[in-house]
A and B are shown apart, each in its own frame.
Chain A
Amino acid sequence: MTIALPLISRRRLDRQRLQDAAFRGATRLFAVGVLVLLGGIVVTLAFSAAPAFERFGWGFLTSAAWNPVKDDFGALPAIYGTLVTSAIAMLIGIPVALGIAVFLTELCPPPLRRPIGTLVELLAAIPSIIYGIWGLFVLAPFLQLTVEPLLIDTFGQLPIFGPLFDGPPLGLGMLTGGIILGVMVLPFISAVARDVFLTVPPMLRESAYGVGATTSEVVNNIVLPYTRTGVIGGVMLGLGRALGETMAVTFVIGNAHHIRLSLLAPGTTISATLANEFTEALSKLYVSSLFALGFILFVITFIVLAAAKLMLLRLEQQAAK
């Protein structure tokens, strides 16, 4: 009597090989699908924006017109508002976010690090619309009654800064939008900054302390230069978020298609224009112009996010060496 050895038959081996190839192919198919998705977004936006670009040419980027009745559209006010609000957001967000990162890595007692870090990251979990409703009902009245009159009184008469703080305190405007965005980008920048601060070799830090440097000197002269690329990458990541943020800004920006030097004046951003007007756009050219705005926004954010990603990748490679 012979014992049947559990030999795998040739046919079974072939079947397994086929299954392996099929599984591998399926995962690759979906991975390529992600690339197709990005390509599809670009092509769709460009295709739908084409009539507007054909009609207005490059002038679309420089025209301040926005007249649905006469079918005359220009992107400049929306681009201007997008850039100004994001700039305000960065002015507020960067120092505060770096402050948080320094606190978490240098100052915070270790048992508190995780809970405090988590709480800051929860700011990123709160949806955009909640920031919007809070900005409209809490922040805007506060700014209108206290901060903006103060800004107008102190800076309004100065020669250079004056025009930036001109006009009545409305509460709704580019300053309010920028402040909300500043809060929203905080968690993104501080999370990246904290992570890259932790990549500094302890030897470098300890050597600096060893020669008598204070904590602030260690941060400024050792940590920040060492992690510069990563910090800039984190800032760009935050900038990418701020540029495309929609709902929070839509609530507080005031939605006015004009360019005012004053930060207190209402304005609009690309995303706020889309959110407000897309479902109400009637003429073909109107819809196409909105798609053109979306296309411009996508191009800008793509460049910023790609630059951020490349910088963070470079730091990773540097750390791996």
Chain B
Amino acid sequence: MMQFPYPRKTSQPQAYTSARASTLHRRRSLRNLLPYLLSGLALFVFIIYLFRPSSPTPPDRNPPPGTSKVVIVTPIDPSLSPSHANDIKENRRDYAQRHGYETFFPSTEDYDLMPNVPSTWATVPALRHALTLHPHTQWLFYLTPTALIMNTREPLSDKVLTPSKLESLMIVDKPVVPPDSVIKTFSHLKGERVDFVLAQDHDGLAGGSLLIRNTDWAKFFLDAWFDPLYRSYNFQKAEGHALEHIVQWHGTVLAKLALVPQRVLNSYTRDTGSSGEGIYQEGDFVANFHGCARDAARNCEEEMKPLMSRWRELRDGQRG
């Protein structure tokens, strides 16, 4: 019964109910139900509002169209011979061009390092600089100047960066610094949560080839890594040891780290350990002439020549 102060019925009963009357009736009852429906809806919206995720998604997460997904960063020492420096750049540019990536080749003298600090420290501000120049890129790929990209077929996303691929490659529960560091990589880590990918060689983290996701975490990580007190501490392997130090002492760094097998990112041309696991074989992604710059008895340019010409052959073969 509808709520009126008195019943609205005449004493004469209706002879019949027309179709029109019944739709009218239905419409009326609908109109009566409307407030309840509306209030129900309002309650529903309110509940959704209450339980909404507290952090709204940042609006500028979507990069503008046309920005590359990866920036390849290689700082070039100005003391290198120009032709060699050009070869190294050409090697990166070729890979970048194939997959639509950007490249960035700063000089190691661009940045204000402290006196008596190895120039390899320039790696860290160079990466930070790349983030500034390419604010919408998704990943940074740092490759040391002593390494060459030998296999250009696969893009980085297929090779490592897809979360499922990364999860399948990740080495979990492994001492960060072999053989016996008490700090081990996380055993339960989601691929999407990883912001930092690198390999391990026989005596620690192999910092010659790194992948860093462009996030706030990256800024924190790079700034902390570049702290003046680490630079002045005279770590034996400079930025490499500083990296091992922060990974082991700071959980917020370790929580973003994924180790992958060495030959995925960073094969060495010379075996420096006993196992010989990370030795470069034809078809590997990267050939790293690890230690050639540090060791006065070695000459990087000479050492790299054979593989450089091999890379050219491969490139021209693919083009032809």
A and B, one complex? no
